[in-house]
Amino acid sequence: MTDTVTQESPLAAAGTGTVVTWHAERRPDQLAIVSDYGNRTYAELDAGANRLARALQAAGLRPGDAIALVCRNRPEFAEVHAAVQRSGLRLTPVNWHLTGAEMAYIVTDCEAKAIVADATFADCVAESVEGNDTLLAKLAVGGTIPGFSSYDEAVAGVDASALPEPTVGRAMLYTSGTTGRPKGVDRQTRPLGESALYQRIFAAAAMKPGDVHLCTGPLYHAAPLSFSLALPLLFGMTVVLMDGWDAAETLRLVEKHQVTHTHVVPTMFHRLLALPDDVRAGHDMSSLKFVLHGAAPCPVEDKRGVIEWLGPVVYEYYAATEGGGTFVDSDEWMAKPGTVGKPVEDDLIRIYDDNDEPVPAGEIGTVFIRATASPFRYFKDDDKTKSAYRGEYFTLGDHGYLDEDNYLFLTGRIAELIISGGVNIYPAEVDAALLTHPSVGDVGTIGVPDPDWGERVIAVVEPKEGVTPTPELGDELIAWTRDRLAHFKCPREVVFVDELPRHDNGKLYRRKLREMFVG
């Protein structure tokens, strides 16, 4: 058998959850994981996954049972993921920024039978399992947690050989919960080769053994988990894990490890471009051949700047935990600035008005996506599942339009829409205009109640480092937008803050931002 991964063997192995084993047999000494908390070769990662799978089975877990994982970007995260994939379990990674009570809700709601947790978050984790008598195993990574056993001791001496009957597992991630409680997005696994979006990514990324992927985001998010762990390991790559993102450190790691692939969010583009010219020029970025991004709208000037800097290696997709399906390369995007891509299948995207009627090209409406052959459901919430669907199409709550060439453009989220004087205003459009000003480091535009207009547009600005916020600068920023946007869209007020509230996947907590001014 040849060593190439363009044949079907790794995909077939992925179908049984044993893709790490497949590569461990062919390149046992190649690094699979590089991190601040230690490294793993493919042989070590495979052996660790087998040990953990057997330890969980010995504790009483069976295929279909759930395991919660609260863990930084460290090798144990990859071991748990690989163990789940081959033992038929259902993995729910938990955002470690949550409070103990918020963690407890997810651990309970996903019906976890086991939890693996990073001792860094001991207090919140201990609170999250207090009184939970359904957990058959509680394992602490990197230290101690009251009531937990040591992860290292639990797997020490356990048989590391291949499982005799591997069963493919799956992940069930929770929505961010910007409105109400977060919900698990559950679907049965399907072969990666059946996904048109993944086929496009495979073709464009041309991943192979020896390539290096830089993971920039926390693995508990859907995009890093899929694009920065599962896919690179599928193709026998080395994954370098960042544990906390920093612009200058990103450049250093790309040069040090000769990174070929990475996944980022638009905020990272803006902050990379904000680095001093000599810092950017001081690092060799020529190894990069595939920079994938999604998760949030990307300002046109930022993306154009990155393409001009790095070359035509930037690719974008539109998708979410629930599903998705557009893709665009650098050349297409330069011809259609602002697009998030073309649907990867015919009739995959539809735009509906408020009456659930299709709208013509160029008209803004709600974006709906055709579900896959294994449609998702919101775990234990049939009403929410039903409300997301229109026939076989579902929505993520985005507004946008398809142009005459069938390219999708997003204008914002339904929940973020500002209605001022009866006119719809999309905050992302205002954000994009302000981000082109040299004094703006970050921005979030919101609407607040106004007795005359219904809502008044306010721009909340995080100044660039070294910039002093003044009333004069606020007036200058308003004038800046009025030169670039229709006046009804422009902010009537600019408020300066030290730091905007953002998810660590780059998305703005616009609801929290609004609460700062509305209450």
CA distance 450 to 244: 39
pLDDT at 438 (0 to 100): 94
The contacts of residue 153 (CB under 8 Å, 6+ apart) are: none
CA distance 130 to 133: 9
Nearest to 215 by CA among 196, 249, 194, 243: 243
For 251-392, list the strands marked E by DSSP.
261-264, 290-293, 314-320, 323-328, 342-343, 349-352, 365-370, 377-378, 389-390
Q: Per DSSP, what are the bridge partners of residue 51?
A: none
pLDDT at 7 (0 to 100): 44
Which residue shows structure tokens 């390539």? 211
CA distance 497 to 519: 17
Report whether 196 contacts 325 (CB < 8 A). Answer: yes
What SS3 class is residue 392? coil
- β 170-171/349-352 pair status: unpaired
- Binned average pLDDT, 10 residues per bin, the chain of 519 residues: 49 89 97 98 98 98 98 98 97 92 94 98 97 97 97 98 95 72 82 80 95 96 93 97 95 98 90 93 97 83 95 93 84 96 94 92 93 82 86 87 96 78 79 93 89 85 94 96 88 94 74 77
Q: Per DSSP, what are the bridge partners of residue 319?
A: 324
pLDDT at 4 (0 to 100): 41
CA distance 189 to 86: 13
CA distance 367 to 311: 30
- In the chain, what are the domains? 20-171 (3.40.50.980), 192-413 (3.40.50.12780), 417-518 (3.30.300.30)
CA distance 249 to 36: 13
pLDDT at 1 (0 to 100): 34
pLDDT at 191 (0 to 100): 66
pLDDT at 422 (0 to 100): 66
Nearest to 139 by CA among 61, 86, 215, 219: 61
pLDDT at 501 (0 to 100): 86
pLDDT at 180 (0 to 100): 59
CA distance 495 to 82: 46
Report whether 261 contacts 211 (CB < 8 A). Answer: yes
